Amino acid sequence: MEKIKVDILCLYAKKTGQTVYLDNLAEELKNLVDLKIIYPNNSYVFSFLNRFNSPLAIKSLPFVVKKRIRKDSIVHIVNQEIFFLIPLIKNPLVVTLHDFGLYTYYLVWKKKEIQLLDKVEKIICGSDSTKKELLKHFPRFEEKAVAVHNSLRKKFKKSTQDLRKKFNLKPTDRIILFVGSDDSKKNFLSLLKAFSELKQDNLILAKVGLPWSFNGNQRKNFAEFILKNNLEEKVKFFDSLPTQDLIDLYFEAEVYVQPSHYEGFGLTLLEAMASGTPVISADNTSLPEVAGNAALFFNSKNEKELKEKLEEILNNKNLQKELIQKGFENVKRFSWKDSAEKVFGVYKKIKRKEKED
């Protein structure tokens, strides 16, 4: 039996959440469908124009995409940044909606962006939370929306390198870890403020993530707070790390904190749990759905509560052990193989509908 042809469109950028999503999903999907991955930004025309920061680079994408899409394929767009290509594609279309924050949190999506979703066959939402959020505002997408969870990358094991020596960390340093950009929705400043109130010895706050922010230069605000509170030796920023270094840092951390005001999924929670690191998480959007019963929760707008949760976990070895065990169990609920099977089911429904029509 001939496999279903699927052309996935993705704006490739190393180590972004959407690229991690594609890499892991594609690894499983290639066993189920005739898969072709198209990176519109990985072309001579785009690269040449983008070298000069030219708006023409983006305008070249439809030309690049049209040439590469196969005539009889299902097209699956996995980046919200290129949903503008939807009207130009004649093939049956699937999109992945990683979150609905551009409409509900940043307030930049308007009526015309939502109308693009009317033109697609299926909307794969990254969590039940995202699906509910979409349908709360636009119930007309009830028949199109499908929730399919992300999962943990396969190769998630600690290496033998001495990471503490590599990063000039002492054996006695107790690491509180956060992984995410500087964006205001990640709420790192609240974690920084809560951290500054802690009295335990040898605490280090490590942040891994790019200085990018939707809301201007947040790193400047972090730097000012750190200087004012004499935390220069206590807070470490890693804008980007090799994948294995990041994995090893998860394993070295004593606690992982996700203070976000908004998340479409929360993959970092699973990465921390798989590392045997206790998790403290904000209690909003998709985070309770992903963390299950394996985290301490707090209100992301309450820095005092976050400080109390940090003290609770740092001072209680039994609680740490309990959360670690619950974390290992929680991670088992998520599988890229299962996710790929659900996405494959979406493709099959589209093909069945084609035949009926």
- pLDDT for the residue numbered 12: 72
239 and 137 inside one domain: no
Residue 59 lies in a domain: yes
198 and 141 both lie in a single domain: no
Q: Are residues 140 and 57 in the same domain?
A: yes
For residues 49 and 60, the answer to whether their CB atoms sit within 8 Å is yes
On whether both 118 and 236 belong to a single domain, the answer is: no
170 and 311 belong to one structural domain? yes
Q: Residue 94: which CATH number?
A: 3.40.50.2000
Q: Which of 202, 210, 204 is nearest to 192 (CA)?
A: 204
Does residue 157 form part of some domain? no
Based on the domain organization, do 346 and 267 belong to the same domain? no
Could you tell me if 262 and 130 lie in one domain?
no
**Domain shared by 129 and 270, yes or no:** no
Sheet holding 279-282, edge to edge: 235-238, 203-208, 174-179, 255-258, 279-282, 296-298
**Is-contact 326 294, C-beta < 8 A?**
yes
Q: Phi then psi for 343, rounded to 5 degrees?
A: -65, -40
Same domain, 171 and 254: yes
Domain-embedded: residue 158 = no
Token readout for 77 is: 């767009």
pLDDT of residue 49: 55
- Is residue 255 one of the residues assigned to a domain? yes
Residue 225: name the closest of 247, 254, 205 by CA: 205
9 and 139, same structural domain? yes
Q: Is 279 among the domain residues?
A: yes
Within a domain: residue 315? yes
**Within-domain flag for 24:** yes
Are 236 and 122 within one domain? Answer: no
What are the helix (H) ranges across the chain? 17-29, 44-50, 56-59, 61-68, 101-104, 111-116, 128-137, 163-166, 188-196, 218-228, 243-252, 267-274, 287-291, 303-314, 317-331, 336-356
Residue by residue, pLDDT tens for the chain (357 residues) are 689 999 999 887 766 778 889 999 999 999 999 999 998 776 666 666 566 666 666 666 777 788 899 999 999 999 998 898 999 999 999 999 999 999 999 999 999 999 999 999 999 999 999 999 999 999 999 999 999 999 988 778 999 999 999 999 999 999 999 999 999 999 999 999 999 999 988 999 999 999 989 888 999 999 999 999 999 999 999 998 999 999 999 999 999 999 999 999 999 999 999 999 999 999 999 999 999 999 999 999 999 999 999 999 999 999 999 999 999 999 999 999 999 999 999 999 999 988 887
Please provide the size of the chain in residues.
357
The token pair that represents 221 in the structure block: 């605000």
1 is written with which tokens?
Answer: 């039996």
Would the pTM count as exceeding 0.85?
Answer: yes
**Is 27 part of a structural domain of the chain?**
yes
Name the domain count of the chain: 2
Q: Are residues 261 and 346 in the same domain?
A: no
**82 lies in which domain range?**
5-151+335-356
Question: Tokens in use for 223?
Answer: 């730097």
